[in-house]
Amino acid sequence: MYHAVQDDDARVVENVEKAAKYLAHFVPPNVTLSLVLPAMEDGVTHGHLKILGGILWGSEKSALVEELEGVTNFLQRHDVCWQQSELFQRYLQNCMLAILTVCEESVQPVSQQFFNITFPGAALGDTVVRNTAEELLMRLGHMEGPEPPHLVYSRHAGSMFQDLQLSLDTWIFNSPQRSIFQTLVEKLVSYDTAGPYLGIISSLMVYLTGTDKDPRVKLSVYTSLSLLLDTKGSPLESSDELDTFCVTVVRDVILPGLVWQAGRTAETVRTSAVACLWAALQEPVPPSMVRATDMCLPLVLGLVEDSARKTRLLACRVLRVLVQLMRSDDRLNTDLVHQVFPAVKTVVALYTPLPPDYDVQCSSALVDALYTTMLVHLDDPDPVFQGVMLDALKDLSHIHPRLLWEKLNNSLGNFRNTKDCSELLDHIKSMRDTSAT
């Protein structure tokens, strides 16, 4: 039957699947499964799953409930449910649908195994397989209790994370574990249920971003981390672990990614890491993060000279927030001011003159963000900062003078430092007059 059900003739396949259902109708599942499961020990094929699915669909509920633990314990083996074949996942999902349909609420005692078997399909399959996995898990959630069905993820994610933790040494970008981890974090974030798992998530991320790890795995970790940090102001804010989580990921996940290394992939890693740092520094900033600014400053200052424009821009934004945090903690002193000054001068040097291939119109969003960040510092309470920013803005006004004029003129009433604003407007006007002549 295992071989016949894989025949090229669809009629043969249909009749063999019917035969499996009829067999289960007349032979109790404790007998059929005692033959099927041992046959799958040396390797599970599509044919095995098709026959198993037919047996599950044809079994009587009370008899099948007695065998659920044995079946699900076998199917949750990693060599079975972590298979990356979409066709394999579809046949596996057919087995789980049969269990859920036949056993109904009696599936609750094996709900963890059910989750472990079904969830990988949401990470490893095509759109159809992913949607089917979501539907199966929502049905499981409905059967588990009156709470919203999406809480099925928060109830069962812990076991999945522990399973993933056991195989960390073998992860590469194409590993099923990498896809499962990233998708599980995305699901927890989308349903606002990541809070209880911040500790184990951070420990996994720390390991996966080690110096000897696949850079593509690091990039996927930074993608997941960015999602988590972007939501820290809502459900995560109430988590007891948020403070520790933020400091851990900044110190052990983000900062190592900011260290310069040669190559385009390393450049992308730096961009992703500084983007995560920018997200981590958005409000609300946990109290312990204020003290973490000392760790960030030297590396961020180096990124102002990075070869990637996006990295440079994000580094400038991060610097602004770091200065504000140090000021709020009364730790902004002369030494720190002198450290930040060269970064401003570097930005000016990068844009003066513009590279021959620099398209101002295509890069207008980046230029807009650069001007916005610098105008904030033009209104800084420290007169020294004001002077540095005024000189820098004058030097950079040639990039897009009309944009800078409009941004400054439209928000002139919001500035306390009107003297420097007027001086900058006069400078732009004189530039335009000169170019007109």
Cα angle: 358, vertex 364, 365; to 5 degrees: 125
Cβ 111 vs Cβ 126: under 8 Å: no
Distance of CA 204 to the CA centre of its chain: 13
Q: pLDDT for 139-157, tens place per residue?
A: 999 988 877 888 899 999 9
Is residue 222 over pLDDT 70?
A: yes
Cβ 274 vs Cβ 300: under 8 Å: yes
Q: In angstroms, rounded to a whole number, what is the distance separating the alpha carbons of residues 36 and 41?
A: 9
Q: What's the whole-model pTM score?
A: 0.77
361, 362, 368, 393 from 357: Cα distances, Å? 12, 11, 19, 22
pLDDT for 330 equals: 63
Confidence band, pLDDT 50/70/90 cuts, at residue 395? confident
Q: In angstroms, rounded to a whole number, what is the distance separating the alpha carbons of residues 374 and 380?
A: 10
Q: pLDDT for 10-41, tens place per residue?
A: 888 888 888 888 888 889 999 999 999 999 99
